[in-house]
A = this chain, B = another copy of it.
Amino acid sequence: MGEISTSHGKIFTPVFMPVGTQGTVKAMTHEMLLQMNVEIILGNTYHLYLRPGHKLIESLGGLHRFISWDRPILTDSGGFQVYSMSDLNKVTEEGVFFRSHIDGSAHLFTPESSIEVQTALGSDIIMAFDECTPYPAARQQVAESADLTARWAKRSKDAHLENSDSALFGIIQGGIYQDLRAKSAGDICSIGFDGYALGGLSVGEPKDQMFEIVEYTVPMIPEDKPHYLMGAGMPADIIEAVSMGIDMFDCVLPTRNARNGYAFTHNGKIIIKHAKYKEDALPVDPECGCYTCRNFSRAYLRHLFMAGEITAAVLLTIHNLHFYLDLLNRIRQSLKSGRFCDWMAMNLPRYKEAYP
């Protein structure tokens, strides 16, 4: 339980950051995000660099002004997307050559260019450029990759302007190998960053391995700096990760699942197209206070979804984001009152069962 100060205000942690890949949280207006008290959103450097371009955004006053969002923004480094989304890529010491998934054009991302792009965007929290190793990957490959990430982290730090308003976070790699994580944590922490992320997790490895690595690595990170577990986002994962000292989360699950008709509730998921909701007059979650649950029935949302209405995506996204914000709020409250362990013992099993 803590807070992070940025040039666009404070964030209270542990915090969930909705993903706004292309300059909007999908299907949302910024007014909706403000109404549900979203404190920080994440923007994807890879996407914004390719379209509409960081120079365009900079010339129009930066990302905050472009998207009309005056609360904090964290941008990722582009590293993960370069591997997962672009058509071709080649990694060298210099950086990563890749082709755009939009038009096939050729590009090079380096630690310096990633920081330059994120600075042009005006991000509040900038991520160092890293290589995200896949799972499974051979030990030797992971070791070399983590070393490259460490050299890139140093170059990222050097490229980050001293007088910048933005914070710079380093990313610890090392796959599922404890000793490689320890080495990476040592390398990254010795460079010195404003916060530290665990990268290369939630990429397909078994959950126990992920938590083994989180539990093992967190104690190696300076306690007074934010700890960010990138990409993890099932409800139980968040709770467990908080218990291990993680402060920040991002995940596309609430927004993507909403568009697919999957609603989160504290009592399990609702697949809205199921016939059993056809005449169901209850809201998605009778205990939820979101706009969608205050106004609409499952039957109505099912109808909108089956009819292909955009409004279905809008209303379910509002609900799912509210669910995540509410979950983090419950966690923060229990931390504040010193009862987190009790709360977790009581609640973790049902989230695990509901969202395996």
Contacts and interface: CB of A to CB of B under 8 A. Distances in A.
Given A52-B303, A299-B60, A306-B51, A291 B29 contact: yes
A347 B307 CA distance: 39
Contacts of A304: 22-24
What is the interface residue range for chain A against chain B? 35 or more
Contacts of A313: 310
Interface string A27-46: 11111000000000000000
Copy total for this chain: 2
Interface in A1-42: 22-24, 26-31
Interface string A285-297: 0000001000111
A52 to B, nearest CB: 4
A106 interface: no
B27 A310 contact: yes
A59 interface: yes
Given A30-B295, A66-B300, A68-B295, 7 more contacts: A22-B307, A22-B309, A24-B311, A26-B309, A27-B311, A52-B302, A60-B299
18 contacts: A22-B309, A24-B309, A24-B311, A26-B311, A27-B311, A28-B311, A51-B307, A52-B278, A52-B302, A52-B303, A56-B299, A60-B279, A60-B299, A61-B281, A66-B300, A68-B295, A259-B310, A310-B314
